[in-house]
Amino acid sequence: MEDFGLEREHREFRDAFRRFVTAKIAPLAEAGEREHRFPREVYQVLRDGGFLAVNFPEAVGGGGADLLTACIYYEELTRAAAGVSAGVFAHHHLAAGPVLRIGTEEQQREFLVPALRGERIGAFGLTEPDAGSDIRGIKTTARRNGGDWVLNGSKLYITNGGIADFMVVAARTGAGRSGDALSLFLVDTATPGVSARDLVKVGNHSSSTSFVSLEDVRVPARRVLGQVGQGLRQLKETLTEGRILVANRGLGLAQEAYELILRYAGERHAFGKPIGSFQAVAFKIADMAARVDAVRLMIYRAARLRMAERECIREASMAKYLASETAVRVTGEALLLHGGAGYMEEMKVARLYRDAPEAWIGEGTNEIQLNVIARTLGLL
């Protein structure tokens, strides 16, 4: 693989983590895929290998690495299994990330530190049956009751929802669709009134995805995350960097599918020659190579802008959009070029093909990304 302008420490991390994932994570991921469950032991294995919370500050127990390292991290983890990387992403970025940025010292001691040790698993309760991309349409409510808040509502398609020990929950604390109507809460899932039901998905079988119900859930005032009424702004901060990171999941699927078909095209023979020697096959694989490299460059551009504290909303959406489109296109082409073998469950390319469409949806649909891009161009 080319270096794409990576520093030596990035390249060394990539090589070391790739070996670690192949040896330690891939077998767990394969078991999780077969059994349709998230292998919770992944967190302990990552922690013992020094690969848990790599881009969190050392002061709170993280590895102190930068955003580019995190990009590499999610690409390599996804190549083992997109489901496992979805669970780790939701735990790290969506649940622990907001606690790091806006949590109090008490909240960080109670939730962040054990999360970064893999002792408490986190989830992010945003999407609802009638509200996903439309964040202002959230219907879950939080009402003051003495010194507590009482939450009522439901959340849908929540990654880690069935295994989480805590959730960052977005709830309505004001009326209407104004920007100050939403707030974030840290909810211990052992609290009475919290229940979860696992959902059956097309792909990403090694992740837990659930419907979560909140019925008269009492949350102490000390567990309001950030300021009351600032939830929308805080969510937008989470989603911008999240789109850069989640783009690497699409990239990982495409990279793995590309490498599988490149190898297969040299091994599989037809009419006395490797199938890769036929122009119809060779051109398709060449197209994959170009698209995968272009996506990686776009992601790294967005990451570098973010690291330099420059505006990157458009670049983040471009990265997520291009990565998801490439994931679906490349995995589909790779499956077809494998012929009948590609349609067999025992072939990894079949799993990649099933997993890829989720890249169109998570962290905002592609239509949302195009809307964001168009707005930054002054078109909408």
pLDDT digits (tens, 9 = 90+) for 53-107: 999 999 999 999 999 999 999 999 999 999 999 999 999 999 999 999 999 999 9
Q: How far apart are CA 179 and CA 138, in angstroms?
A: 12
Tokens of 190: 């052992």
Q: Report pLDDT for 233.
A: 84
Q: Report pLDDT for 332.
A: 97
174: pLDDT strictly greater than 70: yes
Tokens of 93: 């970025």
- Determine the Cα angle at 359 with ends 354 and 362, to 5°: 125
Q: Report pLDDT for 2.
A: 62
Reported as a pLDDT band with limits 50, 70 and 90, residue 147 is confident
Under 8 Å between Cβ of 227 and 174: no
* Dihedral pair phi/psi, residue 38, rounded to 5°: -80, 125
Mean pLDDT of the chain: 94
To the nearest whole percent, how much of the chain has pLDDT over 70?
Answer: 99
Domains and CATH numbers, the chain: 8-116 (1.10.540.10), 122-229 (2.40.110.10), 233-376 (1.20.140.10)
Q: Report pLDDT for 238.
A: 77
- The pairing of strands 166-172 and 148-159 is unpaired
1: pLDDT strictly greater than 60: no
Cα dihedral value 183, 366, 349, 28, nearest 10 = -10
DSSP string over 34-78: HHTS--THHHHHHHHTT-SSTTS-GGGTS----HHHHHHHHHHHH
Average pLDDT of span 364-371: 93
pTM: 0.94
Q: How far apart are CA 219 and CA 226, in angstroms?
A: 14
Least confident of 52-56, 211-215, 282-286: 52-56
Which positions ≥6 away from 65 have C-beta within 8 Å? 13, 54, 55
Nearest of 363, 366, 368 to residue 159 by alpha carbon: 363
User: Could you give the 3-state DSSP secondary structure of residue 158?
Assistant: strand
To the nearest whole percent, how much of the chain has pLDDT over 90?
Answer: 88
236: pLDDT strictly greater than 90: no
Reported as a pLDDT band with limits 50, 70 and 90, residue 140 is very high
- Does residue 236 or residue 360 have the better pLDDT? 360
Give the active site residues.
Answer: 363
